Structure 1
Amino acid sequence: MEIRVLGCSGGIGGLATRTTSLLLDEDVLIDCGTGLSVLSFESLLKINHVFITHSHLDHIALLPLLVDTVGEFRSQPITVHACAETVHILRAHIFNWLVWPDFTAIPDREHPYLRLQVMEVGETIRLGQRLITALPALHSVPAVGYCVSGRGGSLAFSGDTGLCEPLIEALNGISDLRYLLVETAFADAQHDLALAARHMCPSTLRLMLSRLKVQPEVFVTHLKPGMQDVIARELALGFGTLKPALLSNEQRFVLQD
């Protein structure tokens, strides 16, 4: 089992600055931001499941185009998993015939290109030997993170979140947690903005990591473009045993089956 980082930025600005999308093996996505654009048509055809953390555009930007591009060439629909509120938003505001066609009804509702499936916090979906569990998150819209588990351990991805006690509790319950990908969108000078937008900054990440009982390798994602250097300097100071590194495009994490 391998997780490949297709994009991990909090915005755009050049070909290397791509928003959030993680590829699990060849057939599963976690979020569908502009990072998806690096995949070939042949690779896009292999995607069967998409797990969405929340409805903000940087995490769903290429989902409509993905379904439109490959739908007629597939024998089965792409299944999108998300919390109930995100599923509602996708139906009402994206796949609504105004912004984009309703691919849950194309070519007809018995044989759609797209299937939307509600996933509750704490729910686990098994795909072969892979277990994907929805984790709590605290954001400005309803949101979740995800934990991917196999026989070789677990990787947790926070999605977009502020400091979230239920997430900390959930992470402490993952005894085989090897990797934690966690957002830190703002610098400490923007602490009030981060708090209002329910994002993290280095000081809140420091507090979060101090409460973890597990000892994963920590990688920071979703830095706002233009603030990377400032945030990186702040991430280098004052952390304990869990010292975060910056997540990068094309980074790969292997969890053996």
Structure 2
Amino acid sequence: MELTVLGCSGGIGGARSRTTGFLVDGDILLDCGTGVGDLELDALRAIDHVFVTHAHLDHIASIPLLVDSVGEARHFPLTVYGTPETIRILRSHIFNWLIWPDFTAIPNRHRPYLRFQSIKVGERVRLGGRAITSVPAHHTVPAVGYCLDSGAGQLLYTGDTTYSKPLIAAINQQPALRHLIVETAFPDEQHGLALASRHLCPNLLAAMLDEITVSPQVHVSHLKPGVGERIMAQLDGYRGRLRPRALEQGQVLAF
């Protein structure tokens, strides 16, 4: 499997600041932030599955535009996976005929452009020889991460989270984990804000990494614009076994 980073920024502001979206094997999205909009129309048509970690705008912004752009050209619905709480939020606050049309009823409910698939924490979805399992995360709204398994290796994406013992346990249960994509949204001087918003800062990420027993490459995402260099400078001072590096737009991770 291959994951291509379409966006990994914690905000917008310039061509290199696209919010979170990862394209997997051409037909799967992990989250659907503003970076998805850079794909050509043919690439958008090829996407069949969108796995959403949570309902915050920076992670779902392109879903309404995606289904609007490709729905008529598809032969079956685009499937959006998320927890029951996330799906409820999307139905109530996005696809409600006020913010955006309800594409689960367009052109009709028997042949819609969009369908939602509920997924619980720990549930596995198999797509051919690939497996995608939701893992626990701890954020201000109901949230999960996802572990992708190609059969030869694994990649785990935490989504938005603060320090979480259940998440650390889920990471340590992946013996063939090659890549860990983990957020760090704030510098250490905003530790209190990180806790209040249930994000990570470098010292909280360091505490997590100290408890990880597997040996993935660690890729840091969701750096807030304007403070990314400061966050990474603080992480450069971490002297643990794992060495976090900044994830970059356009980067490709194979596993």
| Common fold: TM-score over 0.5 | yes
Residue 119 of structure 1: how far off its partner (Å): 0.4
Give the structure 1 partner of residue 241 of structure 2.
241
Q: CA separation in 1, counterparts of 2:171 and 2:103?
A: 35
1:161 to partner: Cα distance: 0.1
Secondary structure, in 3 states, of the residue corresponding to 2:14? coil
Equivalent position of 1:200 in the other structure? 200
Instruction: Please list the CA deviations of residues 175-228 of structure 1 after superposition, one character each: whole Å capped at 9, or x if unmatched.
Output: 111110000000000000000000000000000000011111101000000001
Q: Distance in 1 between matches of 2:181 and 2:239?
A: 16
Give the aligned residue type for 1:125: V
- The DSSP-based 3-state class of the residue aligned with 2:178 is strand
Unaligned runs of 5+ in 1: none
Shift of 1:15: 1.5
Shift of residue 229 of structure 1? 1.2
- Residue ranges of structure 2 left out of the alignment (5+ in a row): none
Give the SS at the match of 1:253. Answer: strand
SS of the residue corresponding to residue 145 of structure 1 reads strand
Partners of 2:199 and 2:6 lie apart in 1 by 21
What amino acid maps onto 1:48 in structure 2?
A: D
Whole-angstrom CA distance in 1 between matches of 2:20 and 2:240: 27
Amino acid aligned to 2:147: C
Relative to the length of structure 2, the TM-score reads 0.99
Letter in 1 for 2:67: V
Whole-Å separation in 2 of the counterparts to 1:75 and 1:43 = 15
SS of the residue 1:22 aligns to? strand
Q: 2:126, 2:41 → 1: CA distance?
A: 26
Q: Structure 2 CA distance, aligned partners of 1:88 and 1:252?
A: 32
SS of 2:32's partner is coil
Aligned to 2:186: 186
RMSD: 0.6
- The code of the aligned residue for 2:31 comes to D
Equivalent-residue separation in structure 2 for 1:239 and 1:99 (angstroms): 47
Alignment of structure 1 residues 1-257 onto 2, 5 Å = 1-255=1-255
1:239: how far off? 2.9
1:151 Cα offset (Å): 2.1
Q: Provide TM-score, normalisation by structure 1.
A: 0.98
Q: Deviations over 1:211-253 (max 9, x none)?
A: 0111111010000000011101101002311010000001111
Deviation at 1:147, TM superposition (A): 0.5
Amino acid at match of 1:229: E
Question: Structure 2: how far apart are the matches of 1:89 and 1:239?
Answer: 40
Percent of aligned pairs with the same amino acid: 56
How many angstroms apart in 2 are the aligned matches of 1:159 and 1:236? 22
Equivalent residue pairs, number? 255
SS at match of 1:98: coil
Using the alignment, how far apart are the partners of 1:75 and 1:202 within structure 2? 45
What is the DSSP-based 3-state SS (H/G/I as helix, E as strand, rest coil) of the residue aligned with 1:215? coil
